[in-house]
């Protein structure tokens, strides 16, 4: 513990506030749900490994999308671009029709994709682990594509934007 920094209890509000200081992107996770398409907004998405290319998403274990991924064995991730706040909000609401006219397309397996995203990953379900009220879902990436643009950024419960001061990181495998 750093001097002068009092410890914070781990009640849900404190945990959520502290975890919210970690800046994330915003994605829409979608599936054909074995004939019953569904999708939802998430900010818990990351790459796991390069060989084989694998990603993970964390979804509430009872969500229609998590159940759809389990039944169909496939899902897609659309990485939202800066300016797609309305899209993120629409897919975050429960009980609202998710795929509205002209806003997206479908991949080769019939999985819905959000139009205008800056990256897409088509995944085959590669396992999961239930932790608390969430399912950590792993997907082996079978295809991916990208477009130019800046990502939609989320921090402290709000949408944000990158400052534009991108610098190389010596420790990063991208370098």
Structural domain boundaries enclosing 109: 24-152
Count CB-CB contacts under 10 A for residue 113.
Answer: 21
Please check whether residue 99 lies inside any domain of the structure. yes
**Domain at 55, CATH number:** 2.30.110.10
DSSP 61-107: TTSHHHHHHHHHSEEEEEEPBTT-HHHHHHHHSTTS----TTSEEE-
Please check whether residue 172 lies inside any domain of the structure. no
One digit per residue, the tens of pLDDT, for the chain of length 175 reads: 566 666 666 788 888 888 888 888 999 999 998 788 889 999 999 999 999 999 999 999 999 999 999 999 999 999 999 999 999 999 998 765 555 445 678 787 888 899 999 999 999 999 999 999 999 999 999 999 999 999 999 988 899 877 777 667 666 655 4
Please check whether residue 46 lies inside any domain of the structure. yes
Please check whether residue 171 lies inside any domain of the structure. no
- Tell me how many domains the chain contains: 1
Residue that is written with structure tokens 């513990």 in the block: 1
Please check whether residue 139 lies inside any domain of the structure. yes
Quick one: DSSP state of residue 165?
A: -
Q: pTM (2 decimals)?
A: 0.86
Please check whether residue 106 lies inside any domain of the structure. yes
Please check whether residue 168 lies inside any domain of the structure. no
Q: With H, G, I as helix, E, B as strand and everything else as coil, classify residue 15.
A: helix
């Amino acid at each position: 513990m750093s001097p002068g920094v009092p410890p914070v209890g781990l009640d849900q509000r404190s945990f959520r506030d502290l975890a919210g200081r970690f800046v994330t992107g915003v994605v829409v996770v979608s599936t054909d749900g074995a004939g019953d398409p569904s999708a939802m907004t998430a900010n818990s998405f990351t790459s796991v490994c390069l060989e084989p290319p694998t990603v993970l998403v964390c979804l509430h274990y009872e969500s229609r999308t998590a159940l759809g991924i389990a039944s169909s064995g496939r899902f897609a991730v659309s990485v939202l671009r800066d300016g797609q706040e309305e899209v993120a909000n629409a897919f975050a609401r429960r009980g609202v029709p998710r795929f509205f006219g002209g806003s997206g397309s479908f991949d080769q397996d019939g999985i819905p994709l959000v139009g205008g995203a800056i990256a897409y990953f088509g995944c085959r379900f590669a396992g999961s682990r239930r932790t608390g009220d969430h399912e950590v879902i792993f997907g082996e990436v079978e295809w991916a594509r990208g477009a130019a643009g800046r990502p939609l950024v989320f921090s402290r419960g709000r949408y944000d934007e990158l400052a534009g001061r991108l610098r190389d990181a010596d420790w990063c495998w991208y370098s």
